[in-house]
Amino acid sequence: MEAQKYKKFIPETSKTPEQVKAQAERARYITCFKCLGKGHYARNCPNQRAMILRPDGGYESQDEVEASQAMSDDDVVDYPETGELLVTRRALSALFEPETIQRENIFHSRCTIQSKVCSLIIDGGSCTNVASKYLVDKLGLEKTKHPRPYRLKWLNDETVIRIAEQVIVPFAIGKYDDEVKCDVVPMQAGHLLLGRPWQFDKETLHNGRTNFYSFNHNGRKHNLAPLTPQEVHEMQQAS
């Protein structure tokens, strides 16, 4: 009788190899909705980093989200303009790898200038803002003499280019509406290039991973979104 009472407290025997194999097989199809890992549920997740599903179907880690500036309800994301591009001479473009996303791309976008859709580049490596001569002549923008003319040696096919004119270009990207003083240059890479002067004046912040530019303008926070590499490639092919 005593032996029978003791038997009630004997722990269950370990699972058979077949049961362990079946459990492991089921775990292969379990997805953690916190870290997107396999083999465990979110409540048992050993990974402290959460993964967030973006509207485009991609993912980003919570660390990346927290590292970037949090957007308030007053913040605006200004996406590239759409429409038929003001044509310039076609430029050669390198093929891109889709998985690199923005890693190897400078900021490309589209803006509107006098109701025309134009290409726009942001490049902190440029010591001046630049408007292409084609754009200025095509839209009839009023030019003024440059207060300090200079010579340029790195654009297009010319050995030396004398820069002697400036122009004020009104442009818009989404809800961001502004104007910028530019040097007039026979540039073929795009219509409008915002360089260090624009970045300095706007006190811009650049997110190196998303390639967004953030700044305040007229009391509102703006976040300029870049074109994707695919869109840049298609725009260059169409121009």
Report the first-to-last Cα separation within the chain, whole angstroms: 94
Does residue 5 sit within a domain? no
Q: What SS3 state is found at 162?
A: strand
- C-alpha to C-alpha distance for 127 and 161, rounded to whole angstroms: 16
Q: Does residue 10 fall inside a structural domain?
A: no
**Number of folded domains in the chain?**
2
DSSP 22: H
Indicate if 89 and 127 belong to the same structural domain.
Answer: yes
What 3-state DSSP class applies to 202?
Answer: helix
Residue 110 · residue 77 · CB < 8 Å: no
Q: Judge whether 87 lies within some domain.
A: yes
Is 223 in the same domain as 159?
A: yes
pLDDT in tens, the chain (239 residues): 444 444 444 444 556 666 656 666 655 555 555 455 666 665 666 655 444 445 555 544 444 444 444 455 556 677 666 666 555 444 434 444 544 577 778 899 999 999 999 999 999 999 999 999 999 999 999 999 999 999 887 555 556 889 999 999 999 999 999 999 999 999 888 899 999 999 999 999 999 988 999 999 999 999 999 998 888 878 777 76
Tell me which residue range forms the domain holding 161. Answer: 76-238
Q: What's the gap between Cα 169 and its chain centre? A: 24
Residue 179: how many CA atoms within 13 Å on its side-chain side?
A: 8
Asked if residue 139 and residue 116 are part of one domain, the reply reads yes
Residues 33 and 133 in one domain: no
pTM as predicted = 0.61
